[in-house]
Homo-oligomer: A and B are copies of this chain.
Amino acid sequence: MRLLLATRNAKKLVELRRILAESTSVELVGLDDVPPYPEEPETALTFEGNALAKARDGVRHTGLPCVADDSGLTVDALNGMPGVFSARWSGRHGDDAANLALLLGQLGDVGDEDRGGAFVCAAALVFPDGREHVVRGEVRGRVLREPRGVNGFGYDPVFVPDGFEISTAEMSADEKDAISHRGKAFRAVAELLGA
């Protein structure tokens, strides 16, 4: 079965392909492997809503079964924000440095006991026959006061998962995948695919 992962992010493709390879015979393709179609902005206010909208779009435009994900950092002291706004928290879409600096500034007066949060990933799987599934992966942790590490992207340098002493930007890609929100969500998708 050909399956579209609605992303242009090569790392996501590799990660899902590796997870699927363990247990299924799916041929995974990305947005760069199918005829281009207009991609809608992410306007839902939940990770699940954005993932589902992207997966539905993928099915509608390609006729393939489609997986799409949306993820971000939820901080308890901010009532779960940046959340779906994670990539545009500073108002500038995709400006990781500005988003991270803003988050640290906002949490400047917040004590260690209130710096808990989670990386969250929702993954939607939609089939051309209309079947729809949405799964969620989470990794709980806490937000540091200063960035640490150079791996990963986004808020990785300020997030330490529970049970660890290093940030997700100080982990290797394999270490991070093993515990990550996206890894959990993608493994749940693999199970849905009959793995």
Contact = CB atoms under 8 A, between A and B. Distances in A.
Interface string A78-103: 11110101001111100000000110
A42 interface: yes
Contact of A79 (B43, B79, B92, B114): B79
Contact of A114 (B45, B83, B89, B104): B45
A90 B114 CA distance: 19
A81 B107 CA distance: 13
A110 interface: yes
Copies of this chain, how many?
2
A164 to B, nearest CB: 25
A36 interface: no
A130 interface: no
Interface of A: 41-43, 45, 77-81, 83, 85, 88-92, 101-102, 104-106, 108-111, 114
Given A45-B77, A89-B106, 19 more contacts: A42-B109, A43-B110, A43-B111, A45-B114, A78-B79, A78-B81, A78-B85, A79-B79, A79-B80, A79-B83, A88-B105, A88-B106, A88-B108, A88-B109, A90-B102, A90-B105, A91-B101, A91-B102, A91-B105
15 contacts: A41-B109, A43-B109, A45-B77, A45-B110, A45-B114, A79-B79, A79-B80, A79-B83, A81-B81, A85-B106, A88-B108, A89-B106, A91-B101, A92-B105, A102-B102
* 6 A-B pairs with least C-beta separation: A91-B105, A79-B79, A79-B80, A81-B81, A78-B81, A79-B81
